Amino acid sequence: MANQIGVLDDQWARVRSRLKDEVGETAFRSWLKPLTFLGLNGSEASISVPTRFMRDWVLTHYADRIRALWVAENNQVQSVDIVVTPSKLAGGLSAGDGGGTPASEPSRVAPPRFEAPRAETTRLEPSRFESPRVEYPRVEYPRYEVPAGPVARASDPPAAAREPFESTSGRGQDEAGEEISASLDQRFTFDNFVVGKPNELAHAAARRVAEAGTATFNPLFLYGGVGLGKTHLMHAIAWSIRSRQPQRRVIYLSAEKFMYQFIRALRFKDTMAFKQLFRSVDVLMIDDVQFISGKDSTQEEFFHTFNALVDQNRQVIVSADKSPSDLEGMEERLRSRLGWGLVADLHPTTYELRLGILYSKAEVLGAPIPDKVLEFLAHKITSNVRELEGALNRIVAHSDLVGRAITIESTQEVLYDLLRANDRRVTIDEIQKKVAEHYNIKLADMHSTRRGRMVARPRQVAMYLCKQLTSRSLPEIGRKFGGRDHTTVMHAVRKVEELRASDASFDEDIQLLCRTLAN
């Protein structure tokens, strides 16, 4: 029996040596060195790997060659059985845990017949090998708690005792997830989110994803301008999952921190731990994904992480300031996948929504604010919700500290700088953006050479509004529309004036745009 084991060990050593020569040192160290020969069961060789992800990769790229080399060494071997035997990364024994063998080398059973765990095995038939669709069985992990503590910052120097990339080495998956996941703001819940027409679709989609037990819209892509509620909805989803389904493991972080963690993993050669952590969660939430535009290596890793999670039916939620198709500097294949599921936008706030937000915030503050003051703020501050909330906090604080009643006059004094900034003259860029949103076309169409009516008419409207609402000359306006001649602008102005006179519905559209831009 001992002789037989020694012979098999020698054969496996020669197989490994041939593989190393064929694939090279780097690929061998990353993917094949962790493989461990467990034994021979009849005509089937059993080989273990430490993670599901590594098994998937070996099956796809190397399994055919492993079986062929085994057959060349021992014609009794007709198939190879690859099993997952978790190492230290997945909570197994390390050399110092009393197991007596390194974590990446699970101890072998003495008899050549190895009874491998059958829950996660994929068999290679001798005559052919087709990469199978791997079924990922549901695994119960310890309860995940979304951290409330401080968030690690990219500027923090790594402590001497800290593991590379803040990896899972020596810790459980959930503990590592807590260190990487950003803290959640307790104010950002669904109960505190004011719903209106501009954000009702995004809110409804976020609630559906948060309440579902499995992935529904995958991915859920939320986009909108600054201060319109994207981050609020992301936090609300995480809070809801935490309270309803505490067993689900969630990682929420910004795209910047995802990139930072990936760079650390590369620097410390700990990419396997990085991949295992991010590809084993139930819900991955990435905020401000536009940050990785132009960063090819990070996009590549995010692309593969995204695919791995979607293939396992794990939920992915992403937010950005633009729709997937408008994300410049993003690979086409990644833009395509981000638009796979549900894309929900948060439009600029309306007067009614701003007023509702102000009433809600005032109730939370518990301050006696006259209705006229809230209406004044809703009319004057139209940029974003953060600025609106900041203005409310300022007038309440001023009243509390100075002991002066809140009136429209006192509000104008306290918010002089903010109100002056919001009263600035409208710009050509703002007109182009508002018109593009109103007619549901891309902002790039304002500068393009396309002449189809669906694009040309909104472009003419934008030129007309630029002439009416700005002091720019006709040549200046033409240059802002893709370098067009001033005569093109003159033609657009005449055409819009004619349509306003003959088409009441068109005239209402122009009036609505004027009011929107004047607010």
Total residues belonging to the chain: 519
Of the pLDDT bands very low, low, confident and very high (cuts 50, 70, 90), residue 203 is: very high
The pLDDT of residue 99 is above 60: no
Of the pLDDT bands very low, low, confident and very high (cuts 50, 70, 90), residue 232 is: very high
Q: Note the pLDDT of residue 448.
A: 84
Question: pLDDT over 90 for what percent of the chain?
Answer: 14
The residue among 274, 263, 102 whose CA lies nearest residue 176 is: 274
Residues 6+ apart with CB under 8 A from 508: none
pLDDT, average across residues 177-182:
62
Q: Note the pLDDT of residue 137.
A: 39
Whole-angstrom distance, CA of residue 102 vs CA of residue 93:
8
> What structural domains does the chain harbor?
2-124 (3.30.300.180), 168-346 (3.40.50.300), 351-421 (1.10.8.60), 428-518 (1.10.1750.10)
Q: Note the pLDDT of residue 349.
A: 82
Q: Note the pLDDT of residue 86.
A: 61
Q: Sheet containing 315-320: which strands, arranged edge to edge? A: 250-254, 283-287, 315-320, 220-224, 342-346
The pLDDT of residue 10 is above 60: yes
Of the pLDDT bands very low, low, confident and very high (cuts 50, 70, 90), residue 51 is: confident
The pLDDT of residue 155 is above 90: no
Residue with the bigger pLDDT between 481 and 51: it is 481
Whether the pTM exceeds 0.85: the reply is no
The pLDDT of residue 284 is above 90: yes
Whole-angstrom distance, CA of residue 193 vs CA of residue 151:
24
Q: Note the pLDDT of residue 92.
A: 36
pLDDT, average across residues 79-107:
49
User: Other CB atoms closer than 10 Å to residue 307's CB: what's the count?
Assistant: 14
Phi, psi of 250 (to 5 degrees): -120, 135
The pLDDT of residue 438 is above 80: yes
Q: Note the pLDDT of residue 458.
A: 92
Phi, psi of 516 (to 5 degrees): -60, -40
Residue with the bigger pLDDT between 450 and 191: it is 191
Residue pLDDT, tens place only, 474-518: 888 988 898 888 889 999 999 999 998 898 888 888 888 887 776
